[in-house]
């Protein structure tokens, strides 16, 4: 299994990276939105953890572009956010094609359960 983490918080990406690697998931980390979008378009990942609140080019921007280009449904995008998202926001992102929403801070159990959906 191969995962991509797109998040500007290096502490979170480092911790998540080491956890995923410890359970034998190959992992790539990108800390900027535009680079993350390009990775989604050019490489295959079994799961993508996408932070919403990033400077300059946000996770929302990535979602909108993938949706408009017809690429959101074909990628397993898991929203990975500490932002205060409403139930309406979550419903909209899921209806667009995001597969799941994880609110930070999250437990290892929540992370593992989400990963297991895509194995």
- pLDDT value of residue 105: 85
**Helix 108-116 and helix 10-22, axial crossing angle in degrees, nearest 10:** 60
CATH topology of domain 2-116: Rossmann fold (3.40.50)
Query: For the chain, what are the domain ranges?
Result: 2-116
Mean of per-residue pLDDT scores for the chain? 93
Question: Whole-angstrom Cα distance, residue 112 to residue 49?
Answer: 13
Whether 36 contacts 4, CB under 8 Å: yes
Whether 100 contacts 74, CB under 8 Å: no
pLDDT digits (tens, 9 = 90+) for 63-100: 999 999 999 989 999 998 877 788 898 899 999 999 99
pTM for this model (two decimals): 0.94
């Amino acid at each position: 299994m191969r995962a991509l983490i797109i998040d500007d918080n290096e502490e979170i990406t480092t911790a998540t990276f080491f956890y995923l690697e410890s359970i034998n998931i190959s992992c790539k980390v990108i800390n900027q939105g535009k680079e993350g979008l390009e990775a989604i378009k050019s490489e295959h990942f079994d799961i993508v953890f996408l932070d919403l609140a990033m400077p300059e080019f946000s996770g929302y921007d990535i979602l909108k572009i993938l949706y408009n280009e017809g690429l959101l449904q074909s990628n397993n995008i898991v929203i990975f956010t500490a932002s205060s998202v409403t139930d309406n926001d979550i419903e909209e992102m899921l209806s667009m094609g995001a597969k799941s929403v994880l609110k930070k801070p999250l437990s290892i159990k929540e992370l593992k359960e989400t990963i297991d959906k895509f194995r």
